[in-house]
């Protein structure tokens, strides 16, 4: 009886290990952001636990390099403190929120801009006020029109080797955010169309799909549970070659 119980537990544990690609990165102590969050010494932060692995995977190369990090959605200001702690001295964090109370989180290393991320005129002002962005995190209102306007206005403005990360994109399934399964106009459907644009080079009908600015500026799209990460890197038209000696 006990033997069977033990072998059931073991089977369950090894099955979990097999289905989780990087279980170790979830553990506080192995991921500095998770470590900070679960021992939070600062203001309130609201994050899904599985986001820490994604952040660390894409943000680690900016640590200690004084990046400019923009987060839309300030809430109680705790995540601004977490980004400073993670990226280190010299980092500039820009928090954007519609709630004017967030101004109180401004300090010498933190800029706060108040406005509506769904308002393209405000986003144009953001481009003027923040001329250099290495990382942009969209954790604001999570409504479809907000996520799409923010991407269209700010993605081209992110540095050529920067990262654009939009979180909570599961709202694309929620009618209260303008979502719905496969519904036209959701951020998830918009993101799926970006996959086509990544392959614009290979289009056979350039009237419907062609290599555009997005194709030339984007290295990879990473779709995770609830998070889309877009990695920028200037791309030249792809080349192919045959090398070596023929066998037949
Ligand atoms: C999920 S909270 C942000 C959580 C925070 N990033 C954290 O990790 O603790 C969402 C924030 O987005 C702000 N927000 C909602 N709609 C917005 C909009 N249209 N433009 C800018 N900010 C908005 C809210 O005021 C709220 O502070």
Q: DSSP secondary structure string, 80-103?
A: HHHHHHHH-TT-EEEEEES-GGGG
52, 55, 97, 120, best to mutate for ligand 1 pocket (most atoms within 8 Å of CB): 97
Tell me the C-alpha distance between 57 and 241, whole Å.
32
137, 140, 165, best to mutate for ligand 1 pocket (most atoms within 8 Å of CB): 140
Q: Report how far ligand 1's centroid is from the alpha carbon of 142 (Å).
A: 8
- Residue 109: left if φ>0, alpha if ψ -120 to 50, beta else—which one? alpha
pLDDT tens-digit map of 22-32 = 444 445 568 99
Q: What distance lies between CA 232 and its chain's CA centroid?
A: 12
Structure tokens that stand for 138 in this block: 């969209």
- How many Å is the maximal CA-CA distance in the chain? 73
Q: What is the pLDDT of residue 32?
A: 97
Q: Report how far ligand 1's centroid is from the alpha carbon of 104 (Å).
A: 15
Angle (CA) 69 70 74, round 5°: 120
Instruction: Give, for all 248 residues of the chain, the pLDDT tens digit.
Output: 444 544 443 344 334 333 444 444 445 568 999 999 999 999 999 999 999 999 999 999 999 999 999 999 999 999 999 999 999 999 999 999 999 999 999 999 999 999 999 999 999 999 999 999 999 999 999 999 999 999 999 999 999 999 999 999 999 999 999 999 999 999 999 999 999 999 999 999 999 999 999 999 999 999 999 999 999 999 999 999 999 999 99
Active site residue 142: yes
What is the pTM assigned to this prediction?
0.90
Q: Which of 85, 142, 170, 181 is catalytic?
A: 142
Which residues have C-beta within 8 Å of that of residue 189, sequence separation ≥ 6?
Answer: 172, 182, 183
In the chain, alpha helices (H):
2-19, 32-38, 51-59, 78-87, 120-129, 144-154, 187-198, 213-217
pLDDT tens-digit map of 53-69 = 999 999 999 999 999 99
Q: Which domains does the chain have, with CATH numbers?
A: 46-232 (3.40.50.150)
Q: Report how far ligand 1's centroid is from the alpha carbon of 144 (Å).
A: 14
Which residues have C-beta within 8 Å of that of residue 247, sequence separation ≥ 6?
Answer: none
Tell me the C-alpha distance between 94 and 99, whole Å.
14
pLDDT tens-digit map of 108-136 = 999 999 999 999 999 999 999 999 999 99
Tell me the C-alpha distance between 14 and 244, whole Å.
43
Helix (H, G, I), strand (E, B) or coil at 140: coil
């Amino acid at each position: 009886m006990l033997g069977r119980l033990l072998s059931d537990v073991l089977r369950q544990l090894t099955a979990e290990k097999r289905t989780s690609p990087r279980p170790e990165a979830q553990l506080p102590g192995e991921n500095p952001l998770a470590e900070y969050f679960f021992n939070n010494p600062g203001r309130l932060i609201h994050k899904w636990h599985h986001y820490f692995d994604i952040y660390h995977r894409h943000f680690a190369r900016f640590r200690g390099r004084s990046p400019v990090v923009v987060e839309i959605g300030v809430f109680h200001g705790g995540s601004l403190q977490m980004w400073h702690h993670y990226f280190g001295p010299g980092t500039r964090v820009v928090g954007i929120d519609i709630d004017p109370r967030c101004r109180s989180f401004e300090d010498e290393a933190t800029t706060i801009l108040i406005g509506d991320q769904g308002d393209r005129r405000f986003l144009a002002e953001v481009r003027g006020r923040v001329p250099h962005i290495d990382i942009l995190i969209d954790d604001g209102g999570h409504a479809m029109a907000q996520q799409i306007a923010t991407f269209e206005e700010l993605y081209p403005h992110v540095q050529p080797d920067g990262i654009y990360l939009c979180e909570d994109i599961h709202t694309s399934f929620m009618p209260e955010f303008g979502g719905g399964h496969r519904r036209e106009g959701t951020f998830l459907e918009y993101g799926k169309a970006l996959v086509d644009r990544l392959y614009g080079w290979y289009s056979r009908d350039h009237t419907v799909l062609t290599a555009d600015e997005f194709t030339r500026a984007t290295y990879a799209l990473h779709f995770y549970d609830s998070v889309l990460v877009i990695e920028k890197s200037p791309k030249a038209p792809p080349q192919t070659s045959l090398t070596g000696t023929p066998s037949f």
